[in-house]
Amino acid sequence: MNNKPKKPSPSIKQNLGKHQDPVGRRGNFDEVAMGFGPEEAVAEAARCLGCKNKPCELACPVSVKVPEFVDLVYKEDTGAAASKIFETSLFPAICGRVCPQEAYCEAACVLKDKFGPVSIGRLERFTADYARKNGLITPPACAPDTGKKVACVGSGPTSLSVAAELRKLGHAVTVFEALHEFGGVLSYGIPTFRLPREVVRFEVDMLRKMGVRFLKNVMVGKSLTIDELKKDFDVVYIGSGAGLPSPMNTPGEDLVGVYSSNEFLTRVNLMEAFKFPATDTPYYIGKKVVVVGGGNTAMDSARCAMRLKPENVTLLYRRTRAEMPARGEEVENAMEEGIKFEFLTAPVALEGDEKGRLKRVKCIRMALGEPDASGRRKPVPQKGSEFYVEADSLVVAIGASPNPVIQQTTNGLSVNKWGCIAVDEATGKTSLDGVYAGGDVVRGGATVLLAMKDGKAAAMAMHEKLSGKGN
Ligand SMILES: Cc1cc2nc3c(=O)[nH]c(=O)nc-3n(C[C@H](O)[C@H](O)[C@H](O)COP(=O)(O)OP(=O)(O)OC[C@H]3O[C@@H](n4cnc5c(N)ncnc54)[C@H](O)[C@@H]3O)c2cc1C
């Protein structure tokens, strides 16, 4: 590389990477963040101080060896950088894109306050993409077959982690997925403009090459019970996620044009409704769209809606921007794309026309009161502040909980008051012998990285059991 900066060069400005132009990108589902090229990656890697105490690595839930892989990027040895990441994290092209680095590794970077943190997530993505596109990734070696059989329920990041870890150790793994596509939320929830499908498919194919069996369209709890799986498999892992949408319980929620985020995102992302009639799934959003919520799901819903070309998209959130659980970067992207944010606002009623179609949303302004159980200040409705927002469609994106089908059809499986499967935190062990669980079905909605972390921890406990060491 010409003019390669000396390492460390912390005061070089943090590079946040190029993005598709906000107006142009409203017309497509292509990736918004364009990623680093080799020169940008080396220059960003030059900023790393290579701290001996590795605060970034310590802050990472799956302990990615950050200073070491960043140093290899600086040395332009991208293949070795990728191998270094793979030592602890199996899906860097996914995590480099959707992991909230600003809350983990980048939050711990010592450069954060003075110069801006090293863009660790973007470097991780660069490394993984470069290695994938240049054929530098080969499936990890697997130990000789142990004769033990593992069933994973669901194919989201938590089950994929279990499958990878246990297959490497020589166990035969079968993944059962209810949908016709693998990847969980990575395929049906997160839009392609944040996570292209070929990235997820590459990871699933890698597991296939390692010998993992993937079966689709199998709803465990309906077509097959956990008890039946236990007869055929030595251990079972439940990674069925949190795909049951929470309703607002607001009058008018049954009007035509009102969607749960789950339905809306599945229609758009999985069924590609935006290509209708070339695809089978239609959508209706009309001219004015309202989205309710403040998390990643709300941002994704609003940004998907914007790409379906309505006149406007308005997002209602009952607290302020500071309390939004969505990644800051995605809130900024949404704002740049023209989504109107109404903070400190909540819907109180949805009103329809004579045909039962949504027409307008009655809203109320809020003020922040005392902190609630979540530690965030509680929104308090302001009497007399009601107003209306015109809407042809509305997407409810205020949270989700686990689908109860497995919990209801499995005798003796302990569940907490939120319907999440109860487990031993360190091992993912459930109340049933040989049955483990992790990810969103246990946490009730968290992050990709925590789902992967749960999968890794449970895989180790399951291996112990399969080897006759654990219980
Ligand atoms: C729209 C959206 C955006 C998000 N954005 C981010 C982000 O930017 N960063 C981040 O870190 N996290 C994000 N998250 C959260 C993250 O995606 C989840 O925490 C993570 O996917 C959980 O992984 P999981 O494997 O536990 O479950 P899931 O990914 O939900 O996968 C569960 C799988 O199990 C299948 N399944 C369910 N029931 C059954 C059954 N009975 N039988 C067979 N299969 C079944 C489901 O079809 C699904 O494929 C987002 C979530 C959503 C919804």
CATH number, residue 367: 3.50.50.60
379 and 262, same structural domain?
Answer: yes
Q: With respect to residue 3, please indicate whether it lies within any of the assigned structural domains.
A: no
Q: What is the mean pLDDT of each run of 10 residues along the chain (471 residues)?
A: 88 95 95 96 97 97 96 96 93 96 96 97 98 92 97 98 97 97 96 97 96 98 96 98 96 97 95 92 95 98 97 98 94 97 98 97 97 87 98 97 96 96 97 98 95 97 92 65
Q: Are residues 385 and 415 in the same domain?
A: no
Of 133, 167, 185, the position where a domain reaches its end is 133
Given 383, 400, 417, the domain boundary residue is 400
Predicted local distance difference test score (pLDDT) of residue 199: 96
- Residues 406 and 316 reside in one and the same domain: no
Q: Which one of 344, 365, 400 terminates a domain?
A: 400
Domain identity same for 264 and 388: yes
Taking the C-alpha atoms of residue 304 and residue 277, their distance in angstroms, rounded to an integer, is 18
- The answer to the question of residue 12 being in a domain is no
pLDDT at position 1 is 73
Residues 43 and 155 grouped into a single domain = no
Query: Ligand 1 centre from 186 Cα, in Å?
Result: 7
Domain assignment of residue 263, yes or no: yes
pLDDT score for 471: 65
Q: How far is the CA of 5 from the centre of ligand 1 (A)?
A: 41
In a domain, 52, yes or no: yes
* Residue with CA at minimum distance from ligand 1 atom 27: 241
Is residue 433 in some structural domain? yes
Is residue 4 situated within a structural domain?
no
Residue 91 makes CB contacts below 8 A (sequence gap 6+) with: 157, 160, 203, 448, 452
Q: What is the C-alpha to C-alpha distance for residues 297 and 396, in angstroms, rounded to an integer?
A: 9
Tell me the pTM. 0.96
Q: Are residues 232 and 258 in the same domain?
A: no
The residue range of the domain holding 205 is 149-243+402-466
Mutating to test ligand 1, I would choose from 185, 194, 442 the residue with most ligand atoms within 8 A of its C-beta, which is 185
417 shares a domain with 326? no
- For residue 98, CA distances in Å to 64, 133, 239, 448, 457 come to 15, 19, 19, 8, 21
Alpha-carbon span 174 to 154, nearest angstrom: 10
Measure 159 CA to ligand 1 centroid, in angstroms: 10
Q: Which atom of ligand 1 sits closest to the CA of residue 300?
A: 1
Do 200 and 122 share a structural domain?
no
288 shares a domain with 194: no
pLDDT of residue 426: 96
∠ CA 298-282-189 to the nearest 5 degrees?
30
| Shared-domain flag, residues 315 and 356 | yes
Residue 195 lies in a domain: yes
Domain count along the chain: 3
Which residues, judged by CB distance below 6 Å to any ligand atom, belong to the binding site of ligand 1?
98-100, 153-159, 176-179, 184-185, 189-190, 218-221, 239-241, 243, 265, 296-297, 300, 327, 403, 405-406, 439-440, 446-449, 451
Structure-token pair, residue 219: 């709803």
Residues 263 and 317 in one domain: yes
Asked if residue 225 belongs to a domain, the reply is yes
| CATH code of 45's domain | 1.10.1060.10
Give the single-character DSSP code of 270: I
State whether 255 and 336 are in the same domain.
yes
Q: Is 185 exposed, middle or buried (CB count within 10 Å of its CB: 0-12, 13-18, 19+)?
A: buried
Ligand 1 atom nearest 179 alpha carbon = 47
